[in-house]
Structure 1
Amino acid sequence: MNPAPAVQHLAYSTLVHPGDTWEEMRDSLMTYAPLVKARVSPDEPYAVSLRLSAESARTLTDDPGERERLRAWLDDNDMYVYTVNAFPYGPFKGRVVMEQVYEPDWSGPDRVRYTCQVADILAEVTPSHVSPSIQTSPLAFRPKVVTAADRARLTENVLAVVAHLVDLERRTGRRIKLALEPEPACFLETTEETVAWFREDVWSSSGTDTLCRLTGLPVSEVVGLARRHLGIVFDICHQSVQFEDIAASLRLLTEAGVPVFKLQAAAALRVPDVTASAVETLEAFTDTIYLSQTTERRDGRLTRFLTLADAIAAWRADPSGGPREWRTHFHVPIFLDDLGGLSTTQPGITAALEVHACTPLSDHLEIETYTWDVLPAHLKNGDIVDYVSRELEWIRAESERLVTRR
């Protein structure tokens, strides 16, 4: 049996760098990307995952010269963009973010306008051999989706962007893909919920009617176009926090026909046995500006907390009740499996790569450990270039090992 082809596009997420404005993102890109390329891809074209905030998207939309300068710089440095992180709309670095990261969500026009701007930028700055993907939020923070009308509004706005992507391909010949990223505490949270939304909302008769209305095309056309332009980012960290069997979740998506437009290699913080000593060690991870959704498994039941601090407070109030395991949405370096008394969900990455080695899931692979700024000091060996380069080297070695093993 011939081995599966290697992943075509692989990068680390520039969400790890300052990039709330285009000036910040441009400076981060031009400072760090050449250094990483020199280490991991000195003689081959280097893929870039670009973070674009709404402010950055507006800047590039309004300034054709800046788009041309970006494209020229990428060409001159043997780099190309293949994916954009358009999940955080506003500021993401240097201040408390928490659940505000989902705002504005897919219930209103701001998210639609921003995502369409990103698509238009990608159609212009990416090479013709790439079908770029846009990573976006999982519709909304779960407590905000209360009624059927809320759900319908979210779906309609996503389909409005799909209609824009259909028209963009018709006009430019460039296929852009929108990829929603399920995440704990959001409307799209588990893999089963995500499949259900595609089946019941996007591919249903109501979803098809909506896309027909938005595109002016017949049913025979829009059914295929929905799958051509709308799929998901499968973040292994997020689904590991849900205690999902990663291989089974990927098989479910494949069997259901939900496109995985980007496979995101990320590891979560794992506490196999919550003890007083483990909780003391965990305190170092509570000083974070990001949400740290935590899931507890005890006696086969799952209990979800919005933050790690909430989970610790609940444990301190009642530490009895038998053994329990915690998994926390705190991205940790994927090349580590031991965090000094704590563990990680790194095996979930290997499980996903094993599935991918048998049946390629996506030609977009990305590492998204954006938490360098809030990692405890003992986990920082070297600088940010060392850190992301080691992650890229680890994923390449693990992928090659699994392909060779077959």
Structure 2
Amino acid sequence: MDLGNGLGHLSYSTLVHAGDTWADMNASLREFVPLVKARVSPDAPFAVSLRMSASTVETLRGSERERADLISFLREHDLYLYTVNAFPYGPFKGREVMEDVYEPDWTSEARVEYTNAIADLLAELAPAHIDPSIQTSPLAFAPNVTGADYVAHFTTNALRVAAHLYDLERRTGRRVKLALEPEPACYLETTDETVAFFRERIHSPAGVAELARIAGIPLSEAEGAVRRYLGVVFDIGHQTVGFEDITTSLAKLVDAGIPIFKLQEAAALWVERLTPEMLPELRVFTDTIYLSQSSLRVDGVITKYLHLGDALDAYEANPVETELRTHFHVPVFLSEIGPFRTTRFGVEAALAMHRELPLSDHLEIETYTWDVLPAELKTGDIVDYVTRELEFVRDLAQG
């Protein structure tokens, strides 16, 4: 939905629903999204964030009828597509995902072709008044990055997609934006690392020149194109897991001239003061199909772990005064969840900043963990849950 006053479009990520194939995603879209719209935007168009797996892309590219049916459904229900989640390439629901979620990474031809195909679909499926965004992975899982050649390879591939987006707009008049999403344990993890990557690899004279060569355009045109087509998703939950100050991090991106193509409202699990008595209840959250990157802060020193269970084991071996944050997406309207707290404060800080000077035209809630949230912490069904999140973020954004 359009929040008005330049505050951008808001919806929720359909990554929360079954959607590994187009049959699954189409069924989820038709079952849940009209129900959510009826509650939060009954009299105005409602934005749709669509998860597109590689399987979905293959189906939609190959079937004009499926594309026409989707356009018809969106129009019939007063819905409009504004963003696509192209982070998970393959299956994401109902099986262990872990670090496979980053594969294929940005060194692969498959990732380039998949992303370009989504851009082409968006040029057809998104309405004319929307410049749609593509959310993608943080280039690579950090342990896989073996050196400078690896970084140069995925940098070139990102610029190849930017060149495709330039050509797509030239041919169709439709601008599609690619947004890299920093995440714990990845090549792009911290805001400082993200700023450095853009400064040294994308916005640098060498990066601009490489885009000019790939796209076959003058340097003067490439200088603007890198910012017109390449930017970031800022996931508030990811950055709070790393103990970043959210307003400071957002200001760094703005000051560096890095477009925030999507501002993602997400909250993580937070334990301000860990105690041994909490460990059994926290270990409930380790039974998940997703990575649970976690950070422990002791005397100002932050230590990072790939899994919550590893962080809890480390604390149990040395139970000193410790603060814990973990990459487990929790409902953004909650400041507490059971006996623990959440990093909702990060969402509140970001939206306060956004109200003063809008940071992005795309806002999205990405709490995809409904299916793995402990049963005793769920209230209502998934439509209730999504509706409460949307109402909370809308009210915060509008002030």
Once superposed, which parts of structure 1, at least 4 consecutive aligned residues long, lie more than 6 Å away? none
> Secondary structure of 2:329's partner?
strand
| Amino acid paired to 2:391 | E
Alignment correspondent of 2:362? 364
Report the AA paired with residue 376 of structure 1: P
**Could you say which residue in structure 1 is the equivalent of 2:305?**
305
Name the CA distance, whole Å, in 2 between partners of 1:186 and 1:169: 31
Aligned position for 2:150: 150
CA positional deviation for 1:146: 1.8
1:17 matched to which residue of 2? Answer: 17
* Equivalent position of 1:159 in the other structure: 159
- 2:336 corresponds in structure 1 to 338
Q: Which amino acid aligns with 2:110?
A: D
Offset at residue 4 of structure 1 (A): 8.8
Matching residue's letter, 1:291: L
Provide the rounded CA distance (Å) in 2 between the counterparts of 1:283 and 1:308.
Answer: 8
Cα separation, 2, equivalents of 1:4 and 1:41 = 13
For the residue of structure 2 that corresponds to 1:187, the secondary structure is coil
Superposed CA deviations along residues 256-283 of structure 1, whole A, max 9, x for unmatched, are: 1000000000000001011012222201
Whole-Å separation in 2 of the counterparts to 1:385 and 1:330: 20
Aligned to 1:385: 383
Deviation at 1:284, TM superposition (A): 1.3
Paired residue type of 2:42: P
- For residues 262 and 153 of structure 1, the distance between their equivalents in structure 2, rounded to whole angstroms, comes to 25
Aligned 1:282-361 pairs, distance under 5 A: 282-319=282-319, 322-361=320-359
Q: Partner of 1:66 in structure 2?
A: 66
Match of 2:117 in 1: 117
- C-alpha contact (below 8 Å) 2:7/2:354 kept by paired residues: no
CA-CA distance at 1:400 after TM superposition:
2.7
Instruction: Output one character per residue of 1:61-105: Cα deviation in whole Å (capped at 9) or x when no partner.
Output: 111111111011101110000000000000000000000000000
Is 2:338–2:377's contact at 8 Å kept on the other side of the alignment? Answer: no
Gaps of at least 5 residues in structure 2 are none
Aligned to 1:261: 261
Deviations 1:103-140 (A, max 9, x none): 00001100000000100000001100000000000000
Amino acid at match of 1:43: D
Q: Secondary structure of 2:94's partner?
A: coil
Of 242-251 and 6-15, the range deviating more from structure 2 = 6-15
- The alignment status of 1:38 with 2:38, answered yes or no, reads yes
Q: Unaligned 5+ residue runs, structure 1?
A: 402-406
For 2:146 and 2:259, how far apart are their aligned partners in 1? 27
Residue aligning to 2:173: 173
Instruction: State the alpha-carbon separation in 2 of the partners of residues 254 and 94 from structure 1.
Output: 38
Residues 265-274 or 279-288, more deviating: 279-288
Partner of 1:83: 83
| Post-superposition CA distance 1:267-325 (Å, at most 9, x none) | 00001011012222201111100000001111111100001011111122222xx3110
- The amino acid across from 1:331 in the alignment is H
Equivalent AA in structure 2 for residue 128 of structure 1:
A
Secondary structure in structure 2 of the residue aligned to 1:55:
helix
Counterpart of 1:373 in structure 2 is 371
**Residue in 2 aligned with 1:136?**
136
- Contact persistence 1:4–1:357 (CA under 8 A): no
Matched residue type, 1:289: I
Contact kept in structure 2, 1:133 and 1:262, CA below 8 Å: yes
CA distance, structure 2, for counterparts of residue 4 and residue 46 of structure 1: 13
Q: Residue 174 of structure 1: SS of its match in structure 2?
A: coil
Partner of 2:208: 208
8 Å Cα contact 2:265-2:364 kept in structure 1: yes
Kept in 2: contact 1:74–1:80 (CA 8 A): yes
Superposed displacement of residue 6, structure 1: 5.2
Moved more, 16-25 or 65-74: 65-74
- Structure 1 residue 230 corresponds to structure 2 residue 253: no
How far residue 228 of structure 1 moved from its aligned partner, in angstroms, is 0.3
Number of equivalent positions: 397
- The one-character-per-residue Cα deviations of 1:352-403 (angstroms, maximum 9, x if unpaired) are 00110111001100000000000011221010000000000111122233xx
* 2-structure distance, mates of 1:93, 1:291: 13
Q: Distance in 2 between matches of 1:209 and 1:252?
A: 25
Offset at 1:19?
A: 0.1
Q: Which amino acid in structure 2 is aligned with residue 326 of structure 1?
A: L
Q: For residue 123 of structure 1, what is the amino acid of its counterpart?
A: A
Query: Counterpart of 1:296 in 2: which secondary structure?
Result: strand
How far, CA to CA, are the matches of 2:48 and 2:338 in structure 1? 32
Q: Describe the SS at the equivalent of 1:36.
A: helix
**For residue 404 of structure 1, what is the aligned residue in structure 2?**
none
Report percent identity of matched pairs: 60
Q: Aligned partner of 2:239: which letter?
A: Q
Partners of 1:234 and 1:217 lie apart in 2 by: 30
Query: Could you tell me how far apart the structure 1 residues matched to 2:377 and 2:266 are?
Result: 16
Q: Distance in 1 between matches of 2:50 and 2:268?
A: 22
When the two chains are superposed, the root-mean-square deviation of aligned CA atoms in Å is 1.1
Q: Is the 8 A contact 1:4 1:359 kept in 2?
A: no
Q: Output the CA distance in 2 between the equivalents of 1:218 and 1:148.
A: 27
Aligned partner of residue 337 in structure 2, secondary structure: coil
Q: Is the 8 A contact 2:87 2:102 kept in 1?
A: yes
Matching residue's letter, 2:246? I
Amino acid in structure 2 at the alignment position of 1:361: L
Secondary structure of residue in 2 paired with 1:120 = helix
Query: TM-score w.r.t. structure 1 length?
Result: 0.96
